[in-house]
Amino acid sequence: MKKHYKEEPWSIVEEGFHPEMQMSSESIFSLGNGRMGQRANFEEGYSGETLQGNYIAGVYYPDKTRVGWWKNGYPEYFAKVLNAANWIIIQPEIEGEKLDLATAQVSNFRRELDMRAGTLKRVFTAKLKNGAELDVESIRFMSMADDETAAIKYTIKSRNYSGKLKIAAAIDGDIVNQDSNYDEKFWAEVSKQTWAHGSELTMKTKKLDFHVSTAQQIVLTKNGDELDLSSVEASTEKYVENVFDISIAQGDEIAVLKYASNVSSLNYSLSELSSKSIEAASRAKEIGFNEMLQRHAENWRNRWANNDIIIEGDVAAQQAIRFNIFQLSQTYTGADDRLNIGPKGFTGEKYGGSTYWDTEAYCLPFYMLTAGNDVAKKLLLYRYKQLDKAIQNAGKLGFTDGAALYPMVTMNGEECHNEWEITFEEIHRNGAIAFAIKNYIDHSGDQNYLKEGGLEVLLGISRFWAQRVNWSKLREKYVMLGVTGPNEYENNVNNNWYTNYIAKWTLEYTRDAAKACMSDDRFWSDFVAKTNFKEDELSTWSDISSKMYQPKLDGTNIFLQQDGFLDKVDLTVDDLPASERPINQNWSWDRILRSIFIKQADVLQGMYFFEDHFDEATIRDNFLYYEPRTVHESSLSPCVHAVLASKLGMDEKAYEMYLRTARLDLDDYNHEADEGLHITSMAGTWMAVVEGFGGKRVVDGRLSFSPRLPKEWDSFKFSILYRESTVVLEVDQDKVKISNQSGESMAVDVYGTTYEIAGRDSVDVNRKR
């Protein structure tokens, strides 16, 4: 764990230039707007260690799968969100020496991510080898108000130099992905153009023919007055620039205002792409930097009004939750139902930027309860629109009759993960997609979604489960063999309890949902015709679910993670030397697979999803057994444990897990922040507060809270959208206050007691300790 950044409630601040932290800081200070994103690379060139990253949502490359032993059913490619053209380049040069913080003497370095306004500011003093000293300030943002545009204000003040300052404003398309399987460059040039104060570059992917056009418009000022300077226009393959020569004297201040745009063939025809990119950059220039920033900041103010969590008395916790909410909000806005949430968002290349089951298991609640039902529904429709591909994926593995296996990793519905134990075996992902449908309906009240696609998805998943199990004569139960559960430190196991349980639940939920929809004769006849549904499928599902094998330790409440789990050497995390943590960076894979140690919640993932299926004693016994054996080396692990620990009144453990998930990247618990942030697990941080400390549930169709206040906090407050009504929870040392900000009366449970709260009214309840 590293404590590198100052703890501020609304900002992430780095003081002093630390080259050894540069790649991690590039991740931490990343910016995005849902349509595009950018790591916190320097505008000026940097010859030190860096991971350059500019990303365009929805644009990807099918990098050919690289495996040593090909197996039938393997995907042919791994989808990767591409490192696109580098648009931020502003390169100062004095007397032939370019500003480079890896070679200059750097002092007074400070950068700040202002989460309230969504801006990144950097200041420093640099002394070049030729003796010139410069004060530099950079402010940039990616507009949330106009998601095709971004802007930079880059200011240079001469401390001691008089003479010629050369500034190159450039767009570089000759870039690479660090994770390219075969060191291949993924982009080819289509066209480029330059003019006196700007330039434009259009590139296309070498496969799939995605086109992206990037444009820049440049304005220069000297001591506050706009300069009427034309540039020297230059271009080479995949590169355009505008170079300005400016006479400066000691004390002069030069500002470079760079207005940039990125547009893609996802939204425009190829014939208009270049003109649309130039139009967007020109639009930004016409609005001007200050007005652009004001509109951008206003957009953020509106978002924070809906999704902020206020924690009093604990700055580290306050900063962390806002950082997580900030990153989630700038990664996915719900503006486009073709997009989804990649595990790294716009902050790095790892995991390809593709969609995982994280969306349904962790992200949906955040977007549903802070952005509303429409945004949440788009995440469900993303899967519905890919149902045909899920059926094809199952078909490649030998499943028939409309069985659907959703991919572990995808950009377009096709499976593109190339590790056999994941691609073929981590099939519990299907269950999370089914659970998300119920979760959405419970919170939105939108029962009609079943008829809008939800039931078709449930049917495909249930058909898969019905074919994936087999009857065991020995056990006289249905069993599921050769799977990987959420704990990826186990592969190819039999009867993973969580997978068996969520399959059983899905079959039951689909059966009940189908019966509920049968009363709509018109819908049902169309549904049967479209899906070739047979009513005997209902009885098959009932038979399987009633006879599903669930491994359990005899005489206890403990469900066994899988067959053979008790054959392992029984250790706890306390038995591990600190020098061997994390084990995934210090142990062989063979040793990990044979050990008892658990990467992330597995049995406890089931306890979290289906908490209402088990009494508190059962949840407690399983928590006390599994958590001490869990190393939490998945970013998705601490949040589930925080929620369960809160329910069980284990306040210290809940707070420990909250800080671990909330500050996972800020304090770099897993020593991998340089690769990008853990965006999807950040939704788990929000869950830890809202569902953990806030105790938010839906019980019998009513919103319910059972709050607990960590002893480190004086109070906390958040709002959620429940069935499109805003409900505010405030918890302090003495009381719980629930405010109904809608115009209609609402029934809300607090500590198991139901209160009818009139519209625009609130209720105070004594806090339980």
* 488 assigned to active site: yes
How many Cα neighbours within 13 Å face the side chain of 700?
6
pLDDT of residue 72: 73
* Of 200, 456, 488, 537, catalytic: 488
Q: pTM for the full model?
A: 0.96
pLDDT of residue 70: 64
206: confidence class by pLDDT, cuts 50, 70, 90: very high
Residue 68 reports pLDDT greater than 80: no
- Cα 550 to Cα 74, 497, 560, distances in angstroms: 30, 6, 8
Burial of 406 from C-beta contacts in 10 A (0-12 / 13-18 / 19+): buried
pLDDT of residue 210: 97
DSSP per position, 421-466? HHHTT-TTHHHHHHHHHHHHHHHH--GGGGTTTHHHHHHHHHHHHH
pLDDT, the chain, mean: 95
69: confidence class by pLDDT, cuts 50, 70, 90: low
Give mean pLDDT, residues 556-570: 97
Give mean pLDDT, residues 88-92: 98
pLDDT of residue 73: 73
Provide the percentage of residues in the chain whose pLDDT is more than 90: 91
Give the pLDDT confidence of 246-292 residue by residue, as tens digits: 999 999 999 999 999 999 999 999 999 999 999 999 999 999 999 99
pLDDT of residue 180: 75
Residue 502 reports pLDDT greater than 70: yes
Whole-number Å distance between alpha carbons of 646 and 38: 36
Point out the least confidently predicted range of 354-363, 612-621, 746-755: 354-363
Residue 737 reports pLDDT greater than 70: yes
Give mean pLDDT, residues 5-31: 97
Give the pLDDT confidence of 120-168 residue by residue, as tens digits: 999 999 999 999 999 999 999 999 999 999 999 999 999 999 999 999 9
Using alpha carbons only, give the angle 533, 539, 544 rounded to the nearest 5 degrees. 110
- Report whether 749 contacts 704 (CB < 8 A): yes
Burial of 269 from C-beta contacts in 10 A (0-12 / 13-18 / 19+): exposed
pLDDT of residue 1: 60
Point out the least confidently predicted range of 231-235, 694-698, 704-708, 711-715: 231-235
478: confidence class by pLDDT, cuts 50, 70, 90: very high
pLDDT of residue 589: 94
**Continuous segment of H or E residues that includes residue 230:** none
Residue 423 reports pLDDT greater than 90: no
452: confidence class by pLDDT, cuts 50, 70, 90: very high
Residue 183 reports pLDDT greater than 80: no
Residue 451 reports pLDDT greater than 70: yes
Look up tokens 């006390």; give the residue.
Answer: 624
Residue 90 reports pLDDT greater than 80: yes
Structure tokens at 508: 């039951």
pLDDT of residue 644: 98
